[in-house]
Every structure is written in structure tokens, then in C-alpha cells.
Structure 1
Amino acid sequence: MSEAKLRAVVIGCRMGLNHAKAVASLSEFELAGLCDLNAETARDAAAQTGGSAAIYTDFTLMLQELQPDVVIIATPTGSHARLTIMAAEAGVKAVYCEKPMAVNMGDSRKMMEVCEANDTLLIIGHQRRMSAPFMTMRRLIQEGAIGKPRLLRATCAGDFLSDGTHSVDILLSLTGDEKVKWVLASMFRQDVEPGLPDQYDYAIFTGRRYGHAVESGMMVTLEFENGLRAEFLTGDARLPGSDYQDIEAIGDQGRLWRAGDSANPQLQIQDAQAGGFRAAELDAPDDFNDGLPGVFRQLAISMQTGAPHPLAASTAINVMEVVMAAYESARLGRRIELPLNQDRFPLEIMLEGAVTAP
């Protein structure tokens, strides 16, 4: 490893505070700058990460003055594409962009095109696939611990774009990123009371979140090229009483179940042994199994050696396609075969009153 530190900056210092703390904890990085529309938010983040990072409210100015190696984007989803493209065109070597990648496929593809044209490594924050429970699930499935997989299942609160993107990425990772053949979905959306703010509220449905429209609940089924099926229940359609990111793999000889973020144990297995579910021993590489620090540690390795990163945009674009195909299926009322031929966000088209295929 080179002794030269990688200069990193963070934009979006509320959610980005955790990212800033992770970078500041690693010897491979120098946390050079923090940017937020609210200068006080950036200053608070600086105070919690050593106090040496420069404070900005202007992203362009920060890029010009600091010339960072790495940009970390933790802003609302609607700004992801614009900020990623700005960073790549400014000559940044790598961009970490929070999930979901963008609001639509057109923007997602543009992000990849611009980053590739400028030799900028782009990774997307689907870090759950790097966590011990899901890496262990993937290994056990591959080893045949539950026989032949028949169904993968995920349920969580939130909208399908913001939270379902984690569920989709997790289930794709459990298959070794098997290609998806088709997607079939149904969704519902409550009426929005007039005069509500353009923001998300857990108590009141405002119809928007992170700069884009959202639904109330969604049910999704997909089939992989190998015939395996997956099901998703999100938002108000989720299983009652389920925890966030409740994930299950069902085989012809057993089941693996991760009953959500607060579950203890984090992973259970049911197989030929008597007694029902029992705890499964977790394993994962040390460099991966510590959340965001592991993501950024691996980013430094990828930048210095050219090794592929587990959160590469080339993988995340497949997640975006499934998510957008689900909305397109709900819009058109039919099964969507991949690849998806829709660059826009189908929910926005629905809200505009469009009912015909593009």
C-alpha cells in the first residue's frame, strides 16, 4: 500500500456524518473537506471527525480548491446523478454514491458513461451485501446447505426505490448476481393531502421522499435466468410485524432466515437436523465485516491495485434496472421482460397521467 493518503471529501453531512467518521478512522485517507447547504451541519460533522476538514456550502468550489481523490455523495437521491457527473468531470479518481444510484435508468446510465469516460471509479452504497449475515447466506446457499434454492423473499418498510433497492441488491447478491429474466409488480399509492411539504414524514404520507415521488406499498415477483423466483413486499405491503430487511432463502431441503436488522441471532438455519431453526455461525473477511470502514478500505485497495470493488456501479446498474422494471410493470399492468426499455422513472410518468408504453 502506498503511504500517500487519498484526499476524500463528503457532500451531504447529515447522512454523510457516518461516512465522514468512517473515512476519518482509516489511515488510507485524509478527510479534506465537508460540504452541506447548511454550513452548521458541516461544522458539526467536522467537530465529530477531528476538526481539520475544510467547510464548504458550494460543491463546485470545494472540487476546485481541494482537488480531492475521492468524493463521497450522501445527498438526497434526486441529486446523485448531477453530483456524480460533476465530480467525474472535475477529475476525481473515485466516487462513492449512496444508494439508490439515481431516480431513473437514464441518469444511472449517464453516471456510468461519464465516469468511464473520465476514468473515475464509481461505487454505489449497497454495503449490506458485504456484511457477515448475507455473505454467510450466500456461501451456505452455494454449498447446498438448504438444497436447491426455490424462492428468495424480502420484506421491509419504506418505498421500493429508497429501501427496496437494498432488498433487491441483497437477493441478487445471494444468487451470485444471476441475471433477472422478468419482473412483475403491483403497487398502491395513497392520496396526498393538499398543502403538505415536499418531504418524507413517517406519520403522514406526503407522496415524496429524497427528491422523488414515492408509493405507499409494493409487491414484486421476479424470475432469474436460472428459474429461481424472488418476492418482495415493501412499505405498507410488508409483512406485519417484520423488521427492516427481513430476508429468507427457501430451498427444497431447508431455509435460511435473517429476520431483520435487530434480529438476534442475525442468521438462522432450518435443515434436516431436528429442532427447527437454529443460529448459523457467521463468517466474512475482516476487511468487509465492519460496515462503512470496510467499504472505504476496499475502495483504497481498488484504487491502488485495480482490484474490482464489490459495490461497483456495473453491479448496481442491474439493481436499478430491476427496481425501475418493477415500477414499469405496475404502471403498465404487465410483466416486464429485461432488458428494460424505459429511461424515465415510471412512477413520475404515472403521476403525469401517462398510461401508454414509451
Structure 2
Amino acid sequence: MSHFTAAVIGTGGIAKAHALYYTGSDRVDLVAGCDFNEGRLNAYCDTHGIARRYTDYQAMLAEVQPDIVSVCTWNPTHMELAIAAIESGAKAVISEKPMSDELGGPMDAVALAEERGCHFVVHHQTRFCAGYNATREMVAAGAIGRPVSIHWRSGGGMLNMASHLIDAYRWILGNPDWTDVLGWIQRHTNRFERGSYAEEKTHALIRFGEDEMILSMDLEDGVKYRESRLSGPDGIINFNREQAVLVNSEGIHEPKASPQPNGYLAELLAWMDGGPVHRNVASQALVTQQIMMAIYESARTRSMVMPPFVKRESPLEEMILAGELPYEGEPYDCRIPAALEYALEQRATNRA
């Protein structure tokens, strides 16, 4: 089996998980890190034993030529960096979620990866969670009959929480295509999340597949409840990341499913060796991205949106800039204040 080198771009909080993937594998050497914040970069590289350190990702890609590149930066930059890594000749790219805050970059990156033969995946790691996989197995076994609906309510915005959970629910259901969405959003404050425009509330109905299974989604800032309910004619499954409980005519059942702590990287390496396509292949994440942008478009147009949906720009940003979502107060980032400063600088540069 081949041995690979890896590099990480962006050394903030989530980059730790990527470092642990690589340092926990006997087939990958983590050889380089990159971040424009030198203090954060040095702390990360010291912790994980990384010798080569860069503040310029283009220089790192050219000089190191890593086999695998992790993109762990803020939302608006993911696809720019993923495309640069693919163009540099990387054999695999792991991008953090969401793919972006619009659709154009993700479509371009997926097309380029397929053209170049790059193993491009998105870090929707919830597809490896024990509770979701137990639910997937029960659905596949027909434990509740044909799934009719999923209801989910939680905190967090669309790009943060919905990017994980829409993707996870498609995994549970066998990756069905979506057929239409209806969406509504509220944005009364000048809210950002990791440098992207964000809303305080989202309500959406998403219909999947020929069986017209409905996902009812409620996101509201401050809500802590994250359990979901999947219903069918023969029972219901209450589930979260850690566990799943089946309730049907035979009683209450809680099957056991084991998490896979390094399964994400192991599955990527197996794909690179010629094995099955990774469950998080970027073309699947692109479907999630399309659904999220279609929800924003439905809110913008006050109408149902159906595929194919290929609008490149963010409908949320379009509404905000057109004054269709009036807000009060100064801009703030609900997760990372430094990301807001960067985002505002980039927007000012683009307007100039």
C-alpha cells in the first residue's frame, strides 16, 4: 500500500481533528501547515510535530507538493483553496464544511476534481456517527417501513448545522435526490457566521425521492435540542449522533452501533488505493449545498424551488444587498470575530 504526505491549510480549531487523522495513521505523514496567523500556525505545528510552516498557501503547495491537502479555513475561502490544491496535483483534498456560502465555487471544484482524478471529499463527518449509522441500518432493514418524514429542530444557522444534518439525513435515507424545497428565513440583525452572511431562523420543507419523503427543518438561534424523529407506517426512530431508539408494535429497541474514530481517513485511503468511493465524496456534498442555496432562493422568491438548481451566487447575500432583509445594529460574527474582519475586508476589496 502507498504512503502519502499531507498538509493542512488553516490551523484553527477544526484543524486539530485533521491532524489527529494523519498522526493516527501509519500511512500518512503530516509534513506542512499553513496559516496567515503565525502565532496560531506555530502553536499548531509545535503541538503536532510539523516542521514545514507557511503563511502563503500557494508557496506551500508549490514547494511541498503534498499528496493530501486539508482545507480548514473559514467558509468563504474553502473552494478557492480546494481548487488551488487540486490544480497543484494533490491526489486528495479534504475540505471543511460547508463547501462555501454560494454554489458557483463548489460546482467548479467538483467538476475540476472529476476532470483531474482528484479524490475530493468534504468533512461531513456525521456520516460516521454511531447514532446515524444505527438509524441508516434500521431504515435499510425496513424497521419502520417506507420512511415518510423526518422532523428536526436545533440551534445554529443553515451553513453551520444544516450543512451537517441535511447531508446526514441523505446518508441515512440512501442518498436520495431532492425534488423540491420551500424555505423561510429571518435575519433581523447583521449576523455573520465564520465570515459568511447568516440568519437567525430558518424553516424549510425538503422533499426527497420518488417516495416523496419530507424533511421538516427548524433552525433557531439558541435552541439546544438536537434530536431528530424519523417516521414510517410501521414505527418511529428517535435519533441523534450518539444513539438511535426504535419504537414500533414490538416495543422499544436501542441497537448498538460503534463510532469509527479514524474511519474517515481510512475510507479515503481505501478509495485512493482503488477501493469504493468515499461516502463523503464532494459530489454528495454538492447536493447538500444545492439544497441549502435552494432554501435561500425559495425564501427570496417566496415560491417552491425544484432541481436543477445551478444559480452560482448566494440568494441570501442577494436579498441582503437588495435591502429585502432589513436589519438593525452593527455586523457581528456569532462564531469567530476575526472571520468577520477578514470577510468585510474582502468584500470591500471586491467592491473596489
TM-score band w.r.t. shorter chain: 0.7 to 0.9
Indicate the residue corresponding to 2:15 in structure 1: 16
In structure 2, how many angstroms separate the alpha carbons of the residues matched to 1:52 and 1:241?
A: 37
Query: What is the CA-CA distance between 1:174 and the residue it aligns to?
Result: 1.6
Whether the 8 Å contact between 1:183 and 1:335 is mirrored in structure 2 is yes
In structure 2, how many angstroms separate the alpha carbons of the residues matched to 1:250 and 1:41?
A: 46
Indicate the residue corresponding to 1:146 in structure 2: 144
Indicate the residue corresponding to 2:216 in structure 1: 231
| C-alpha spacing 1:256/1:47, structure 2 compared with 1 (3 Å) | same
**Unaligned 5+ residue runs, structure 1?**
193-206
SS at match of 1:161: helix
Q: Note the 1:128-277 alignment, pairs <5 A.
A: 128-192=126-190, 207-225=191-209, 226-236=211-221, 241-243=224-226, 246-258=227-239, 260-261=240-241, 266-274=243-251, 277=252
Whether the 8 Å contact between 1:21 and 1:48 is mirrored in structure 2 is no
In structure 1, how many angstroms separate the alpha carbons of the residues matched to 2:218 and 2:84?
A: 35
Across the two proteins, how many residue pairs are aligned to each other? 322
Indicate the residue corresponding to 2:260 in structure 1: 290
Whether the 8 Å contact between 1:255 and 1:271 is mirrored in structure 2 is yes
Indicate the residue corresponding to 2:66 in structure 1: 68
Whether the 8 Å contact between 1:153 and 1:249 is mirrored in structure 2 is yes
Whether the 8 Å contact between 1:71 and 1:92 is mirrored in structure 2 is yes
Indicate the residue corresponding to 2:297 in structure 1: 328
Query: What is the CA-CA distance between 1:114 and the residue it aligns to?
Result: 2.0
**Given the alignment, which residue of 311, 315, 322 partners 2:284?**
315
In structure 2, how many angstroms separate the alpha carbons of the residues matched to 1:268 and 1:347?
A: 36
In structure 1, how many angstroms separate the alpha carbons of the residues matched to 2:276 and 2:323?
A: 44
Query: What is the CA-CA distance between 1:190 and the residue it aligns to?
Result: 1.7
Indicate the residue corresponding to 1:105 in structure 2: 103
Give the letter aligned to residue 290 of structure 1: Q
TM-score (norm: length of structure 2): 0.87
In structure 2, how many angstroms separate the alpha carbons of the residues matched to 1:37 and 1:241?
A: 34
Give the letter aligned to residue 283 of structure 1: A
Give the letter aligned to residue 229 of structure 1: I
Runs of 4+ in structure 1 deviating by more than 6 angstroms, as ranges, are none
In structure 2, how many angstroms separate the alpha carbons of the residues matched to 1:268 and 1:48?
A: 39
Query: What is the CA-CA distance between 1:118 and the residue it aligns to?
Result: 2.4
In structure 2, how many angstroms separate the alpha carbons of the residues matched to 1:248 and 1:147?
A: 14
Indicate the residue corresponding to 1:125 in structure 2: 123
In structure 2, how many angstroms separate the alpha carbons of the residues matched to 1:83 and 1:98?
A: 11
| C-alpha spacing 1:354/1:117, structure 2 compared with 1 (3 Å) | farther
Query: What is the CA-CA distance between 1:130 and the residue it aligns to?
Result: 2.1
For the aligned residues, what is the CA RMSD?
A: 1.7
Whether the 8 Å contact between 2:124 and 2:164 is mirrored in structure 1 is yes
In structure 1, how many angstroms separate the alpha carbons of the residues matched to 2:51 and 2:267?
A: 22
SS at match of 2:158: coil
TM-score (norm: length of structure 1): 0.85
SS at match of 2:69: strand
SS at match of 2:159: coil
Summarize deviations over 1:73-123 as a string: whole Å, max 9, x none.
111010011101111111111100011111211111011122223221110
**Given the alignment, which residue of 322, 338, 341 partners 1:353?**
322
SS at match of 2:160: coil
Give the letter aligned to residue 195 of structure 2: G
Give the letter aligned to residue 208 of structure 1: F
Whether the 8 Å contact between 1:328 and 1:346 is mirrored in structure 2 is yes
**Unaligned 5+ residue runs, structure 2?**
325-352
| Structure with greater helix share of residues | 2
